[in-house]
Amino acid sequence: MINISEEQVNNALDFSTLVPALKQAFTTDICVPSRLHYDMENPKASRETTLLMMPAWQAGDVAGVKLVTVAPDNGLKNLPSIQGTYLLFDINNGSIKAMMDAPALTAKRTAAASALASQFLSREDSKSLLIVGTGTLAPQLIAAHTNVRPINQVYVWGRTLAKAQAVCEQVSELNIECIPVDDIQSYAKQVDIISCATLSTTPLIFGHWLQPGQHVDMVGAYRPDMREMDDACLVGNKIFVDNFDGALRETGDIAIPLKTGIISKKDIKADLFSLCKGEYQVNRKASDITIFKSVGHALEDLIAAKLVANNTLK
């Protein structure tokens, strides 16, 4: 069995390859059972540590399972909030092909899914991007969004300017201007795309900030009690998700407004499966505000892991 490191995962995946691979995969019949989600009590932290188990397989080809923990307080310990591993199996003989770093894989595939959604939902001339959050996902989201849209101006907001500056330094090789900012509201009002990836339990983006023509990419809030956007972001705007099953149950950004009647299921226009299969056609008006909520899907992990193995085990 080959153990593939974080560095190898990052080197093996580029968005110009991963985004179209995901687009094609969302049209196939990859088997994806519901993921298992366990909240484990942790008296030493402010909240539970979450264990996620996400399996998927392609008949006659490969199978994979991701095992990750999410510990929201890890930022205070200078540790990543997401840790874990991904196991890739050969279905033909049942052997383990590879074990690889799950956080790196997750960051790449999550950012690629956001970029894929942006191809369908954002304005083609989008040139500016606000990143909310300074975790592992932030530089990957910048690279992914700039891969599919002509973005040349990026603003990064975090809890500290130093962390925002560190994100900008990580994307210095990109042909963009990256600026750390401390005023989330003013920049949210002026950019073409907002991408938010945090562990916040209270909204960071508010509907009355949003401007006609914007695309909002919501990546965090992986639990039913977490929120990154308020109700007003959803009312009257076009809502899309990566997958219906997970989004309706697992994220407070969608589950809470559904429960309180702010929105209904029919207000969610389509998921990535419908978009990629052409079952839903996006007719974007210049004034439309589009909202994409991502909760993650094991299909994305499997396709990314397969690419990593193919590019690493040559």
| Tens-level pLDDT at each residue, the chain (314 residues) | 789 999 999 999 999 999 999 999 999 989 999 888 899 998 888 888 989 899 999 999 999 999 989 887 887 788 877 889 999 999 999 999 999 999 999 999 999 999 999 999 999 999 999 999 999 899 999 999 999 999 999 999 998 999 999 999 999 999 899 999 999 999 999 999 999 999 899 999 999 999 999 999 999 887 888 999 999 999 999 999 999 888 788 888 999 999 999 999 999 999 999 999 999 999 999 999 999 999 989 999 999 999 999 999 76
Burial of 278 (C-beta count, 10 Å sphere; 0-12/13-18/19+): exposed
Rounded-to-integer distance, Cα 83 and Cα 10, Å:
16
Residue 24 contacts residue 304 (beta carbons within 8 Å): no
Residue 56 contacts residue 32 (beta carbons within 8 Å): yes
**Residue where the block lists tokens 């397969």:** 306
Predicted TM-score (pTM) of this structure = 0.92
Q: Which domains does the chain have, with CATH numbers?
A: 2-105+299-312 (3.30.1780.10), 113-296 (3.40.50.720)
Residue 250 CA from chain centroid, whole number: 14
Rounded to whole angstroms, what are the CA distances from 115 to 9, 136, 206, 271?
19, 16, 22, 14
Residue 264 contacts residue 257 (beta carbons within 8 Å): no
Rounded-to-integer distance, Cα 136 and Cα 6, Å:
12
